[in-house]
Each structure stands twice: as structure tokens, then as C-alpha cells.
Amino acid sequence: MAVLVTGGAGYIGSHTVMALLEKGKDVIIVDNLVKGHEFAIKGNKFYCGDLRDGEFLDKVFKENEIEEIVHFAAYSLVGESMKDPIGYFNNNVGGTISLLNCMKKHGVKNIVFSSTAAVYGEPRNIPILEDDDTTPTNPYGESKLAIEKLLKWASDAGDINYIALRYFNAAGAYESGTLGEYHNPETHLIPIVLETALGKRDKMIIFGDDYDTPDGTCIRDYIHVMDLATAHLLALDKLNRDGKSGVYNLGNGLGFSVNEVINKAKEITGRDIPVEMGDRRVGDPAILIASSEKAQKELGWEPKFNDLDKIIEDAWKWSKFLFNKLDQK
């Protein structure tokens, strides 16, 4: 019996595959490698293809005894989604519909879904709770929210059981430093800070220092990618145990400002990180911090790597490894 991981060659997907393999699970990966990377494929079996291709997906289900699903495959760049909302809905929602059809056809019930804090939009309360308002401010978040709604209706109809995990700011890398985050172009803060430390960028831009926060820069809840990975295993366990569908935030409950991240990275890398102050980036809320009490209580999830040092140390190991490899090419 196997776990199917869609998008298993992506950032959070590949780290979750590692966690599943460490638990002795048989892992099948489906990824179209549009955003994922060959170097990140770690499962026992890999299929290259698009979820929207029903015939292809049906073949994957026919050739394997799939027992449960962890569904990451999606486009996930906020800025890109603003420029291509149709493409984002087509890929993210369309891929999920095709996957759910196949699950129903083959009698697979349990699915853990990769959702996001972007479903909340501009938060009214900090820390953010799962039943707070969901009013996304970009098509990426809206597409994820649409999928959550679809999952709910499919669960109410008795077709599936699901757990949607709303990640806050995924960061860090696999402890060995040989697997981590790689987006092209990169838009996320910590990899950009570290690329600057490595001299791959002359400088980085801080997107605004006039927010209503202690140092004027935005505050985010950074959560180690391996802590996120563990939560997926716990969610699968819970679905197998009680089949109860639900939605959970995953964050540390701690906020760090952009300036704090840069200063911590200077300390850890021992390098200079030239910065320039820029304008606000459209759609950035001042503060995003999760309450993950529900995940702690109901999934038994406890973030292990909940200090910023560890997150940046692991990301730094990975950045050096990655650019070493890229430079050799």
C-alpha cells in the first residue's frame, strides 16, 4: 500500500516525501516538473505528468495500490497569480478536480491538502485562528480556498475525508543541507537574503519600512519545512484513525520582522548583506502570525525547530550546497 504525493518534486512536497520514507512508507510521486526539480525526486517511484491528464492519472492509480494522498501539486507564486489568474485556477483547481475524480473511481478516501495562510488575506486578528474570515487578496490564495471548499463538499457527500493544512511562511531545509528550496525566479525572503550573503545578488530590497510594526518592516511566522512535513504524517494518521475532515494552521506562533531575519542571517553567515529600502510590495499584510493550537491539540503536532537560528542555519547549508552545484554546471 502506497502514499501518492502529488507535487512531490517541489519544496514542501520533497521534504514531506523524505519524512514519509523515514517512516518506512512506500511513496509514489506525481509531478509535471514545471515548478518541481529532478534533484528533489526522492520517492520509490516517479511519474512525470499533469494531474489534469485524466488518462495519465488513471494509469498511476491502476499500476499502484494507492491508499492515501498528500496533494501539493499547484502553482504557488502570489505575484505570478495576479498576472495569470486563469492559469492559476486552471492548474490548481483543475488538477484537484481530476485527482478527486480518480480517487472516487478507485475508492481512495483520504487526502491531505497543501493549503496556505494566503486564504486569510489581510487578517483581522493576530494570531490567526482557523475560523477567522477568509478573504484572499490574490488568485493564488483564492484558488487554494476554492479547493478547500470543494474538499468540504466532497467530504460532506461522503466521497472523501480530508485535512487541509494552512502553512504560514515555510522556510529552512533538510538537515543534511542536500535538499531545500529552489524557485526560479526566487521571491521568498530567506533564500533571497542568503543569495545576497553568497554574493549572488549585489543587494536585496526590503519591501517597505513604514508598516505598523516595531521596526516598520513586515512580520511573518517562519516555520521549518521539516516541521511542516511531520504535520502531513500526523494528518494522515488522524484520517486513518477517525476519518474526520478539518482545516489546520501550521506556524510557530512567533513573528519575526524582515529586519530581524536579515540581522539573524548576517550573524549566522558572518557575511555582509547589502540592503536597499524599497516600496511596499502590493498585497503584503503587515503581520501574519498563526495560532496552531488546533493542530497541536488535535494532530498532536509540536514544531521541533521553532527558533529562527535553526531555520536560517539549515537554509544556509542548503544555499551553499545549491550554488556550489549550480556554479559547477
Whole-angstrom Cα distance, residue 197 to residue 145?
Answer: 36
- Could you identify the residue written with the cell 505570478? 80
Whole-angstrom Cα distance, residue 137 to residue 120?
Answer: 8
Q: Whose Cβ is closer to ligand UFG: residue 162's or residue 256's?
A: 256
Q: Provide the H-helix boundaries in the chain.
A: 11-22, 54-63, 78-83, 85-105, 139-156, 189-197, 225-242, 258-269, 293-294, 308-328
Q: Which residue among 117, 226, 299, 315 contacts ligand UFG (CB under 6 A)? A: 117
Angle (CA) 151-154-159 rounded to 5° is: 125
Q: Which residue among 99, 218, 268, 295 contacts ligand UFG (CB under 6 A)? A: 218
Q: Side chain identity at 112, as an amino acid letter?
A: V
CB-CB neighbours of 149 under 10 Å: 10
- The answer to whether 262 contacts ligand UFG (rule: CB under 6 A) is no
**Near ligand UFG in 48-77, by CB under 6 A:** 76
Q: Whose Cβ is closer to ligand UFG: residue 169's or residue 230's?
A: 169
Tell the smallest beta-carbon distance from residue 8 to ligand UFG (Å). Answer: 18
Q: Whose Cβ is closer to ligand UFG: residue 52's or residue 188's?
A: 188
Size of the site for ligand UFG (CB under 6 A): 22
Q: Whose Cβ is closer to ligand UFG: residue 76's or residue 155's?
A: 76
- The answer to whether 128 contacts ligand UFG (rule: CB under 6 A) is no
Which residue in 289, 307, 172 sits closest to 226, CA to CA?
172
Q: Which residue among 91, 115, 116, 252 contacts ligand UFG (CB under 6 A)? A: 116
Binding site for ligand UFG (CB under 6 A): 76, 78, 116-118, 140-141, 169, 187-189, 192, 204-207, 218, 220, 258, 281, 284, 288
